[in-house]
Structure 1
Amino acid sequence: MKRRLFLACVLTFATAPAAAAQCQLCAPDKLTSAAAREAEVPLRVVVETRLDMGRIAVGAMGGEVAVDPVSGARRLSGDVVDLGGFALSGTVTVRGAPGAEVRVILPTSVDLEGGHGRTARVTGLITDLSAAPRLGPDGRLQFRFGGRLQIAGADDGDYRGRIPVTVEYQ
Structure 2
Amino acid sequence: MRLLSLIFLCLVAPSAASAQCMLCGKQDGGTIGTNRKAETPLRIDIETQLDMGRVATGAGGGEVEIDPVTGARRVRGDVRDLGGFAVTGTVTVSGEPGAEVRVFLPVSVDLESGSGGTARVTGLATDLGAAPRLGSDGRLVFRFGGRLQVNGTSGGDYRGRIPVTVEYQ
Give the structure-2-normalised TM-score.
0.93
Residue 19 (structure 2) pairs with residue 21 (structure 1) = yes
Q: Name the stretch that deviates more: 64-73 or 9-18.
A: 9-18
Question: 2:4 is matched by which residue type in structure 1?
Answer: L
| Per-residue deviation, residues 50-107 of structure 1 (Å, max 9, x unmatched) | 0000000000110100000011100000000011100001000000000000000100
The structure with the greater share of residues assigned to helix is: 1
**Where does 1:19-168 land on structure 2 (aligned, <5 Å)?**
19-28=17-26, 30-32=31-33, 35-168=34-167
Aligned length: 165
Q: How far, CA to CA, are the matches of 1:31 and 1:95 in structure 2?
A: 25
RMSD across aligned positions (CA): 1.3
Where 1:88 maps in the other structure, the secondary structure is coil
How much has 1:25 moved relative to structure 2?
3.8
Q: What is the match of residue 168 of structure 2?
A: 169
Question: 1:74 is matched by which residue type in structure 2?
Answer: R
Q: What is the match of residue 5 of structure 2?
A: 8
Runs of 4+ in 1 over 6 A off after TM superposition: none
Q: How far, CA to CA, are the matches of 2:14 and 2:104 in structure 1?
A: 10
User: Gaps (5+ residues) in structure 2?
Assistant: none
User: Gaps (5+ residues) in structure 1?
Assistant: none
Where 2:85 maps in the other structure, the secondary structure is coil
Give percent identity, aligned residues only. Answer: 67
Q: Name the stretch that deviates more: 6-15 or 100-109.
A: 6-15
Contact 1:120 1:155 in 2 (8 A): no
Give the structure-1-normalised TM-score.
0.92
Q: 1:138 to 1:119 in 2, by over 3 A?
A: same
Question: 2:3 is matched by which residue type in structure 1?
Answer: F
